[in-house]
Amino acid sequence: MNKKNDVSGMSRKNSIKFSVIRALAALAIALAVAFILIFVSAEGANFSEKMSASLKALREMLVSPLFRKNGTFSVKSFTDVLAQMIPIMFTGLATCIMFSANQFNLGAEGGIMLGAFVTALVAVYWHIPGPMLIVVAIVMGALATGLMMLIPAVLKAKLGVSEMVNSLMLNYVIMYMINYLMNTYLADTSKGVTQTQPFQANAIMPQLVSNGSRLSWGFVIAIIMVILCWFFMYRTRWGYGIRMTGINQPFVMYSGMNVAMIIILCQVLGGILAGMGGGIEMLGRYSVYNWIQQPQYGWTGITVAILAGNNPIYVPLAAFFMAYLTKGCTLMSTNANVPSQLISIIQAVIFLFFAAHQFLAGYRQKLVVKSAQEELAQKEAAERSGEK
């Protein structure tokens, strides 16, 4: 899972084997803990009743997101999960890039909201013919969010203000600003809930499948962005600068790179990605803008980035995991009577063990470093005796 592993030590094959075993072990422990929690809260007069109720709940969480009651694979369920991945892939990518430079910008939440809002406004009010409207609307949303991120980015680069605090607060500024604009000027007063006028017909994104999953072409764009982000981070000098800043900022300065520029760049790019995600989510799955609460995609994006080890290429995997888990937990809550508070705990436990799996990766890295050093020392000694 972690690219760092195959550069030092083990062969690639071994490294993959190790990663898979470790992931399965982490999942097994997490499920065991979850099972205990479910069992304790399960309804039932005796042990065997409790047991069967718990097993049913567990089945709901693990199997139901993709399979029907009779055990057959459900394409609809699968596309539902894929559709759920779209926004968190974007916020995940945004967070990956910002965290790579050690910039703990938490603004993806406000970012996806602002992107969605601006895109929605364009989709309602700008009269642009044909599918151009979709492109313009999403680009405007992305740009607006990129500009928004300039606030924490420039303050950090020029004055050293904590981007974490700033971006966190900004999320709420954005939310309340949108609510104010909605309530005061933009809301469709003919409706009982706060929402904008409907988008123009040519602003709706084409769907990949017509089964009602609302899996739009946004999924394909998200996958393309994953690849572009990977190339940007690992194959361009700017991505290189961002990654090196994350490892050792004084080194980057000493090497003659522009640290302030890098700090600003990564956050603006993060903003653009989050904004794009918001726009695509809007046009792909909605026909009006009606987010008055934070959609939580930004927070999930942070989890996704951490699971992916800040490497864009692992973002789809991590996003799939999170989408699957979220859906499983919802099903468990509705179909198996597991209290919703417990769902949050179980989700946290599973995440915790996966995060721990990342810590294990760090530990393993140390072990590999140690063995490599020993090996090198031996090699060195052998060479030296050879010289004599």
Partner 1 sequence: MGEEFVIQMKGITKVYPNGTVANQDVNFDVKKGEIHALMGENGAGKSTLMKMLFGLEQPTSGEILVNGEPVNLSSPTVAISHGIGMVHQHFMLVPSLTVAENMVLGMVPKKSGMLIDYKKAVALTEEYSKKFNLPVEANARVADIPVGMKQKVEILKALVRGAKILILDEPTAVLTTQETAELFVELENLKKQGYTMIFISHKLNEIMEITDRMTILRGGRSMGIYNTKDVTPEEISRLMVGRDVVLKVEKEPAQPGEEVLRVRDLEYINEWGKKMLDKVSLSVRKGEILGIAGVEGNGQKELVDMLFGFNTPNAGSVKVSGEEILGLNQREIRERHISLVPEDRMLYGIAATASIEENLISDRTANKELNKGILFNMSEIHKMSDQLVKDYTVLCKSAGQTIGSLSGGNIQKVVVAREFSNDPVLIIADQPTRGIDVGATEFIRKKLVELSRSGIAVLLVSADLNEVMELSDSLIIMCGGRIAAYFEDTRDLSDELMGKYMLGIEQQTPEEIRRVCHE
Minimum CB–partner distance for residue 165 and partner 1 (Å):
18
CB nearer to partner 1: give 58 or 233: 233
| Span near partner 1 by CB under 8 A; candidates 58-66, 129-137, 180-188, 377-385 | 377-385
User: Which residue of 24, 247, 348, 356 would you call a contact of partner 1, by CB under 8 A?
Assistant: 247
| Span near partner 1 by CB under 8 A; candidates 70-78, 124-132, 231-239, 272-280 | 231-239
What one-character DSSP code corresponds to residue 197?
Answer: P
CB nearer to partner 1: give 172 or 231: 231
Query: Which residue in 293, 251, 269, 323 sits closest to 89, CA to CA?
Result: 323
CB nearer to partner 1: give 75 or 369: 369
Minimum CB–partner distance for residue 149 and partner 1 (Å):
22
- For residue 207, the SS3 value is strand
CB 109 within 8 A of CB 145: no
CB 249 within 8 A of CB 117: no
**Distant-in-sequence, close-in-space partners of 53: CB < 8 Å, separation ≥ 6:** 42, 43, 44, 336, 337
Minimum CB–partner distance for residue 246 and partner 1 (Å):
9
* Structure tokens, 315: 């973002």
| Dihedral (CA of 328, 330, 334, 340) sign | positive
Residue 227 interacts with partner 1 (CB under 8 A): yes or no = no
Query: Which residue in 139, 168, 137, 136 sits closest to 151, CA to CA?
Result: 168
| Span near partner 1 by CB under 8 A; candidates 160-168, 298-306, 327-335, 368-376 | 368-376
User: Which residue of 224, 251, 317, 363 would you call a contact of partner 1, by CB under 8 A?
Assistant: 251
Residue 358 identity (one-letter amino acid): Q
Spatial separation of the C-alpha atoms in residues 83 and 174, rounded to whole Å? 25
| Dihedral (CA of 360, 243, 233, 5) sign | negative
| Span near partner 1 by CB under 8 A; candidates 83-91, 184-192, 217-225, 370-378 | 370-378
Residue 379 interacts with partner 1 (CB under 8 A): yes or no = yes
Spatial separation of the C-alpha atoms in residues 365 and 373, rounded to whole Å? 12
CB 266 within 8 A of CB 242: yes
| Span near partner 1 by CB under 8 A; candidates 50-58, 212-220, 290-298, 373-381 | 373-381
Per DSSP, what are the bridge partners of residue 132?
A: none
Residue 241 interacts with partner 1 (CB under 8 A): yes or no = yes
Please give the backbone phi and psi of residue 73, each rounded to the nearest 5 degrees, phi first. Answer: -70, 130
| Span near partner 1 by CB under 8 A; candidates 90-98, 160-168, 179-187, 238-246 | 238-246
Residue 14 interacts with partner 1 (CB under 8 A): yes or no = no
Count, residues near partner 1 per rule CB under 8 A: 32
Site mask for partner 1 (CB under 8 A), range 252-271, x = bound? xxxxxxx-------------
CB nearer to partner 1: give 130 or 256: 256
Minimum CB–partner distance for residue 20 and partner 1 (Å):
22
Taken as a whole, the chain contains a residue count of: 388
Residue 13 interacts with partner 1 (CB under 8 A): yes or no = no
Spatial separation of the C-alpha atoms in residues 348 and 154, rounded to whole Å? 34
Residue 373 interacts with partner 1 (CB under 8 A): yes or no = yes
Residues that bind partner 1 (CB under 8 A): 4, 7-8, 231, 235-237, 240-241, 243-244, 247-248, 250-258, 368-369, 372-373, 376-377, 379-380, 383-384
